[in-house]
């Protein structure tokens, strides 16, 4: 089925969206990023309170667009950005749960591949694989930027689920994973973000901040959470320009 002429979930002119996009899940985090890190930021879309802002970061035009929770929500906004607004590069920034003792809260993680047992990609366009890959170019840029900034960055496989990990038996899911996958974190959107981008032959990558771990009872303070999220945000912004 051919999409309609205009987007349904975003309401702005084509030139109001930049070709470079940072995507948090939370609309209020998009607002926070725009207000704290961008200059001349303007709210360009707020359909269903899913905020999108366009402004400048180091004189480079950037859009910050929220995508909501879960693969169906994220895929809607990725599709509209690529199909209607001709976006070229996207970096998803989000929080995740840790499923290896090697990663501590609140360290940073970069996906170099994404595994999911979901049927999302098959329903989206018939893709039957369980693994998708982010843009190798963006992954390399993020790695180099983190090194220049002196930021510790774990790199490995992300597992994307259809359920919120802390509310289910995550070990039952982990026990079903084929040998050799070895995910280090779990979250709910990265597989869709990269699959939609790959389907459009565009670039996408995913960076996370670890906020909980099955191996630790550590709970980060609001101040630590903001500082660690700011490190992720600046890494994404500096990597995409």
- What is the Cα 144 distance to its own chain's centre? 19
Choosing from 46, 112, 162, 212, which is the catalytic residue?
Answer: 212
Task: Give the dihedral of Cα atoms 167, 101, 141, 227; nearest 10 deg.
Answer: 70
Distance, in Å, from the CA atom of 148 to the CA atom of 238, rounded to the nearest integer, reads: 10
Q: Are 115 and 130 in contact (CB under 8 A)?
A: yes
- Residue 46 known to be catalytic: no
How many other β-carbons are positioned within 10 Å of the β-carbon of residue 30? 23
Is 171 exposed, middle or buried, given 0-12, 13-18 or 19+ CB atoms closer than 10 A? exposed
Residue 92, strand partner residues: 23, 206
User: How many Å apart are CA 232 and CA 93, to the nearest integer?
Assistant: 7
Give catalytic residue positions. Answer: 212
């Amino acid at each position: 089925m051919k999409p309609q002429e205009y987007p349904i979930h975003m309401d702005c002119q084509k030139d109001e969206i930049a070709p470079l996009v940072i995507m948090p899940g939370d609309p209020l985090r998009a607002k926070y990023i725009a207000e704290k890190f961008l200059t001349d930021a303007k709210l360009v879309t707020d359909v269903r309170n899913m905020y999108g802002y366009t402004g400048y970061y180091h004189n480079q035009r950037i859009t910050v667009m929220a995508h909501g929770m879960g693969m169906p929500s994220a895929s809607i906004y990725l599709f509209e950005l690529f199909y209607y607004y001709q976006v070229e590069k996207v970096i998803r920034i989000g929080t995740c749960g840790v499923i290896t003792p090697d990663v501590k809260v609140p360290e940073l993680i970069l996906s170099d591949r994404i595994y999911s047992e979901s049927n999302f990609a098959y329903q989206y366009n018939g893709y039957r694989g369980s693994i998708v890959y982010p843009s190798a170019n963006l992954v390399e840029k993020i790695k180099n930027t983190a090194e220049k900034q002196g930021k510790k960055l774990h790199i490995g496989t992300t597992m994307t689920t259809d359920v919120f990990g802390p509310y289910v038996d995550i070990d039952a899911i982990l026990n079903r994973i084929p040998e050799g996958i070895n995910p280090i974190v779990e979250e709910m959107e990265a597989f869709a973000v990269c699959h939609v981008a790959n389907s459009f032959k565009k670039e996408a990558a995913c960076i996370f901040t670890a906020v909980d771990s099955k191996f630790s009872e550590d709970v980060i303070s609001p101040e630590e959470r903001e500082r660690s999220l700011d490190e992720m945000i600046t890494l994404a912004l500096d990597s995409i320009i």
